[in-house]
Amino acid sequence: MNFQENKSFKKKLPTLPKVFLTERQLCDLELILNGGFSPLEGFLNEKDYNSVISKMRLSDGKLWPIPVVLDTRSIEGLKVEGEVLLCDNYEKSLAVLSIKSIYKPDKEREALLVYGTKNKEHFGVKYLLDYTNKYYIGGKVIPINPIERMDFEKLRFDPSSLKKEFKKRKWRRVIAFQTRNPMHKAHFHLIKEAARIHQAKVLIHPAVGQTKEGDIDYVTRVKCYEIIQEKYAGDFALVSLLPLAMRFAGPREAILHAIIRKNYGCTDFIVGRHHADPENDSKGNPFYRPFNAQEEAIKHSKEIGINIIQFPEMAYDEKEGKYVSVNGKNRQGSSVKKISGTEFRRMLRNNEEIPSWFSFPEVIKVLRQRVERQKGFAVFITGLPSSGKSTIAKALTAALIEKSGQNITFLDGDVVRKHLSRGLGFSEEDRKENIRRIGFVANEVVRHGGIAVCDAISPYEDVRQEVRRMIERNGTFVQIYLSTPLSVCKKRDVKGIYKKAELGLVKNVTGVDDVYEVPKDSEMKLDTSKKRSAACLNLVMGYLEEKKILR
């Protein structure tokens, strides 16, 4: 990528409107700029977007299966033919986007065409419908500064540097292996066999961008990959981290992964029978049929210019003492053993012995250390003024102090306004900013394994969702909506705010002359006019224990 050095160009940067990128957008931008997403030169404009979701092709006919878009909650100050500065959270300027189109997508249509479903139990669909902002901005991007990744620098190759590394090692045929999970013995056997059969080397190319809730964090996974490379792989495999945010789009995503590996210089790509699948829905039904991803990848392999190697299901045969491909004949055999990912995680949590045939002892050790680190969580209590938020939050904080060994931080909305949010008023934007600040602090608590108990009116759904997204990257988010009726809240009027509103002494009072948007997806809903605070506390603690959030 060629970073823009033109002085006159850089002089205009301070005058441009800014968009601060999410981690997912940052991954997308990095792959656009480094050529991993070639032929993309920017985020999709409206014409390309419509073509991609309906035909899996850009408007010029080039194959591209997944919409890569820049979503934003506001388009204030933006205009077609204008420019916008793309920045990271530290306000570092990364690129300028030349705006070709600003559009409002039909996200339900996008879900149906790209994911084949509108069911929010599908991770990609939930992210699209609940977390993706309502406006998309499309256009080419001009790089300004490199995106810095300071961890595991020796394992980070862009397409250009990886091709040079292959050349330096004299690797002519390279098989890419995509994963978002730790590697165990079945995976290792698979790539070793692939290398032997095809007389090739292997690129272990894990996605280390956003995956989904419940997946093992990338830092832990990378430590496992390092063990595989250093202790077991010898010179037949190389680990390189891929800054890819997973979509879990099954067949379409398999095509995307193949395009990326071609761009990174690979000649072959392994595709599994359930490649890039989310887990089954709540009824146990898969979102995509087995082998669908393999079929679609093979269908487009010639156009992409990469050979597809079909990934068989592997299991350990105790009689044979080795891994074998699972088929109709041996699937029910008593000597053929498998452990599912869910079962493996349960065994780790319960400190059960892991069979030696399943994984490497050094990998198990790293994963056990991760399990022993308690996961952080945030409880976010929202509702009208005088609905009982502070009462329940204080009682919950006290109960957690007694029950949990984790550090606990109580973020009360009124206290935060006196300190962290001093100077903010009660306009819609100021109220949203106040919640963002609470969310930011809560996220830092959760990120370090602590518990954050937050109470705030938080009347706007979009910023509540923003906070949820932020925290769910690092831990668990539990939203409790206090549905106490307005009439009861007015009678309580603990701080006299309703009375002041009636007298015209204050404005923008939630429930009087300002809106309260009822939450769409709270984990709990409590009416404190029907249940005493002790009963509410018992319900909350019961929920945290039942869901194994509190251990």
Which residues are part of the catalytic machinery? 179-181
Strands in 476-482's sheet, in edge-to-edge order, are 408-412, 451-455, 377-383, 476-482, 524-526
Taking the C-alpha atoms of residue 438 and residue 408, their distance in angstroms, rounded to an integer, is: 15
Q: Are 480 and 522 a contacting pair, CB within 8 Å?
A: yes
CA angle 297, 302, 304 (to 5 degrees): 70
The token pair at 333 is: 């055999």
**Residue 459: left (phi > 0), alpha (psi -120 to 50), or beta?**
alpha
Taking the C-alpha atoms of residue 455 and residue 379, their distance in angstroms, rounded to an integer, is: 8
CA angle 215, 221, 225 (to 5 degrees): 145
- Whose tokens are 């033109």? That residue is 6
- Whose tokens are 């968009």? That residue is 19
* Segment holding 19, helix H or strand E: strand 18-20
**Residue 508: left (phi > 0), alpha (psi -120 to 50), or beta?**
left
Q: Are 264 and 305 a contacting pair, CB within 8 Å?
A: no
What backbone phi and psi angles, to 5 degrees, belong to 138?
Answer: -125, 150
Instruction: Provide the sign of the torsion angle of the four alpha carbons 38, 43, 45, 48, taken in this order.
Output: positive
Residue type, position 533, single letter: S
- Whose tokens are 């388009």? That residue is 75
Q: Are 123 and 212 a contacting pair, CB within 8 Å?
A: yes
Contacts of 247 (CB under 8 A, 6+ apart): 66, 114, 124, 253, 256, 276
Neighbour tally for 260: CB within 10 Å: 25
**Residue 232: left (phi > 0), alpha (psi -120 to 50), or beta?**
alpha
Taking the C-alpha atoms of residue 295 and residue 251, their distance in angstroms, rounded to an integer, is: 8
* Segment holding 237, helix H or strand E: strand 237-239
What SS3 class is residue 478? Answer: strand
Taking the C-alpha atoms of residue 111 and residue 117, their distance in angstroms, rounded to an integer, is: 6
Taking the C-alpha atoms of residue 56 and residue 352, their distance in angstroms, rounded to an integer, is: 46
- β-partners of residue 139 are 43, 99
- Size of the chain, expressed as the number of residues it contains: 551
